[in-house]
C-alpha cells in the first residue's frame, strides 16, 4: 500500500517558471562541471547468486544491489591496478 502524497500537485502543475523562488539555490558555475566525474551507465542484468550471499548482502537493508555493484567495482579496480603493475614490471 503506497502512502498518500501530501503535496498539492495541482498547485505545482499550475506554477510557471517565474513562480519558482530560486533564492536559496546557488548558481552552478563552470567549476562544478570541471570537477564533475563520469559515472558509467547502469546495465540491467540477471545473475544467479548463492542464497547465503544474497542474505548477507540484504542483511544491511535496502541498497543491496548498489552494495553488490560497489563490491564488484572494488575487486575489478584492484585487479586492473595489479595487472598494470605487472605489465610495467615486465617491460
Tell me, yes or no, whether 29 lies in a domain: yes
Residue 62: per-residue pLDDT: 94
Residue 60: per-residue pLDDT: 92
Please state the domain count of the chain: 1
Tell me, yes or no, whether 59 lies in a domain: yes
Name the band, by pLDDT with cuts 50, 70 and 90, for residue 83: confident
Tell me, yes or no, whether 31 lies in a domain: yes
Tell me, yes or no, whether 48 lies in a domain: yes
Supply 71's cell numbers: 563490491
Name the band, by pLDDT with cuts 50, 70 and 90, for residue 82: confident
Tell me, yes or no, whether 18 lies in a domain: yes
Q: Considering Cα of 74, then 66, then 38, then 25, what sign does the dihedral take?
A: negative
Tell me, yes or no, whether 4 lies in a domain: no
Instruction: Give residue for cell 536559496.
Output: 24
pTM of the model: 0.55
Supply 58's cell numbers: 540484504
Which residues lie below 8 Å from residue 68, measured CB to CB, with a gap of 6+? 57
Tell me, yes or no, whether 20 lies in a domain: yes
Do 67 and 60 touch, CB atoms closer than 8 A?
A: yes
For residue range 10-59, list pLDDT tens digits in order: 999 999 999 999 899 988 888 888 888 888 899 999 999 999 999 999 99
First to last CA, the chain: 62
Q: Which residues span the domain enclosing 53?
A: 9-89
Amino acid at each position: 500500500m503506497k502512502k498518500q502524497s501530501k503535496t498539492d500537485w495541482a498547485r505545482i502543475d499550475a506554477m510557471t517558471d517565474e513562480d519558482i523562488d530560486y533564492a536559496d539555490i546557488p548558481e552552478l558555475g563552470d567549476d562544478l562541471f570541471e570537477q564533475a566525474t563520469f559515472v558509467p551507465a547502469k546495465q540491467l542484468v540477471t545473475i544467479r547468486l548463492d542464497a547465503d550471499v544474497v542474505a548477507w548482502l540484504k542483511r544491511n537493508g535496502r541498497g543491496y544491489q548498489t552494495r553488490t555493484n560497489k563490491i564488484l567495482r572494488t575487486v575489478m579496480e584492484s585487479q586492473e591496478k595489479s595487472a598494470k603493475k605487472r605489465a610495467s614490471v615486465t617491460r
